[in-house]
Amino acid sequence: MLRGIVGHVKWHYYTAAGINGYTVTRIEGGGLLLTATVVMKDAFKIAQRPLIFEAPHAKGVWKWPIITHTLTESGHLTARLGPEILTAYNEGPPKDLCLDFSNPK
């Protein structure tokens, strides 16, 4: 499980939603589930594809594609995430998450 406070949903380089409080957990079948509280959203941008969830940390940012998502009127976001997008700016995935979808632990 990964918990954090600040996160973003991006559509290309635009911010589609600002997040204050999130949890990323493993789900059966080898996927990841994001639950978050959205504090700011752009209705047009959040409806576009592809969307990326970004979780900044001390040495960079973790990024996952959003496969499907549900956003309630009260700002509760639930999303199924794809495999992490690796960049030159991050230190690798969180150690307690299984990100090998072909061989879940």
CA-to-CA dists, residue 31 to 15, 27, 65, 72, angstroms: 24, 5, 12, 22
Average pLDDT over residues 60-71: 95
**The pLDDT value given to residue 53:** 98
Q: What is the pTM of this model?
A: 0.83
Q: Is 43 helix (H, G, I), strand (E, B) or coil?
A: helix
3-state secondary structure of 45: helix
Q: Tell me the per-residue pLDDT of 4-61, one tens digit each, with 9 for 90 and over.
A: 999 999 999 999 999 999 999 999 888 899 999 999 999 999 999 999 999 998 888 9
Calculate the CA 90 to chain-centre distance.
15
Residue in 36, 32, 40 with CA at minimum distance from that of residue 14: 40
* Whole-number pLDDT of residue 104: 47
Cβ 53 vs Cβ 34: under 8 Å: yes
Q: pLDDT-derived band of residue 90, with 50, 70 and 90 as boundaries?
A: low
